[in-house]
Chain A
Amino acid sequence: MRKLKVAVYKFSSCDGCQLQLLNMEEELLQLSSFVEFALFYEARRSVSSGPYDVAFVEGSISTPHEVEVIKKVREESKVLVAIGACATSGGIQALRNWANAEEYKQYVYPRPEWVEVLKYAEPPSKYVKVDYEIRGCPVSKEQLLSFILQSSKGKTPTLPVDSVCVECKRKGNVCVLVAKGVPCLGPVTMGGCGALCPSYGRGCYGCYGPMVDPKPEVLNTRFKELNIKPKEIQLLFKQFTNWSREFRKVIEEYE
Chain B
Amino acid sequence: MSLTGLYVGRAVSLRILFSELRRLGYVVIGYKVVDGVLRLGELNSFEELAHDVEDIQSPGKYSLVSGDFYRHGPDSPKRFLYPPTLTLFKVSSEWVVSVPAYEERNIAFFGLKPCDLASIKVLDKILLGVDEYYTSLRKNLVLVVENCVSPGGTCFCSTMNTGPRARDSFDLAYTRLNDKLVVEAGSELGLKLLNLLEVEPIDDVTYERFEVMMRNASEKARAGFELNGLPEELELRIESKTYEEIVEKCLGCANCNMVCPTCFCFDVFDVPLIDGSAERVRVWDGCLNFTYGQVAGGHFRPDLWARYRHFVLHKLAYWIKQFGMYGCVGCGRCITWCPTGIDLRETVKKVLRGGKGG
Residues of A within 8 A of B (CB): 27, 30-31, 145-146, 149-150, 153, 155, 158, 161-163, 165-166, 169-172, 174-175, 177-181, 184, 186-188, 201, 211-215, 218-219, 221-222
Contacts and interface: CB of A to CB of B under 8 A. Distances in A.
A169 B290 contact: no
B290 A178 contact: no
B35 interface: yes
Interface string B242-282: 00000011111111001100000000011111110000000
B291 A161 contact: yes
B63 interface: yes
Given A174-B34, A212-B290, A212-B291, A169 B274 contact: no
Contacts of B255: 165, 169, 175, 187
Given A30-B275, A166-B258, 6 more contacts: A171-B84, A188-B251, A213-B252, A214-B251, A214-B252, A219-B340
A222 B35 contact: no
Contact of B249 (A155, A166, A177, A218): A218
A169 B36 contact: no
A170 B251 contact: no
B254 A31 contact: no
A158 B34 CA distance: 35
Given A169-B284, A170-B85, A218-B340, A145 B251 contact: no
A172 B258 CA distance: 10
A145 B269 CA distance: 16
Contacts of B290: 161, 211-213
Contacts of A184: 339
B168 interface: no
17 contacts: A27-B274, A158-B269, A161-B290, A162-B291, A169-B74, A169-B254, A174-B39, A175-B337, A178-B61, A181-B61, A187-B252, A188-B253, A212-B291, A213-B302, A215-B250, A218-B250, A222-B251
A178 B254 contact: no
A169 B84 contact: yes
B352 interface: no
Interface string B323-358: 000000000000011111000000000000000000
Interface residues of B, number: 45
B60 interface: yes
Contact of B339 (A31, A180, A219): A219
A222 B340 CA distance: 6
Main secondary structure of the interface of A (DSSP, over half): helix
A155 B254 contact: no
A149 B274 contact: yes
B36 A174 contact: yes
B271 A146 contact: yes
> Which has the most chain A C-beta neighbours within 10 Å: B272, B286, B290, B302?
B272
A168 B94 CA distance: 35
B273 A165 contact: no
> Which has the most chain A C-beta neighbours within 10 Å: B34, B79, B290?
B290
Contacts of A158: 269
Contacts of B270: 155
Contacts of A165: 253-255, 258, 339
Please give me the 10 A-B residue pairs with the lowest Cβ-Cβ distance, nearest first: A169-B258, A187-B253, A170-B84, A187-B251, A165-B253, A149-B272, A212-B290, A163-B253, A213-B290, A174-B37
Contact of B252 (A163, A175, A181): A163
Contacts of B304: 213, 215
B75 interface: yes
B4 to A, nearest CB: 36
B272 A153 contact: yes
A219 to B, nearest CB: 6
B150 interface: no
Contacts of B283: 170
B323 to A, nearest CB: 24
A213 B292 CA distance: 12
A155 B285 CA distance: 22
Contacts of B302: 213
A161 B254 CA distance: 12
A155 B91 CA distance: 15
B289 interface: yes
A95 B36 CA distance: 37
Interface in B43-63: 60-63
A219 B249 CA distance: 8
Nearest to A157: B272
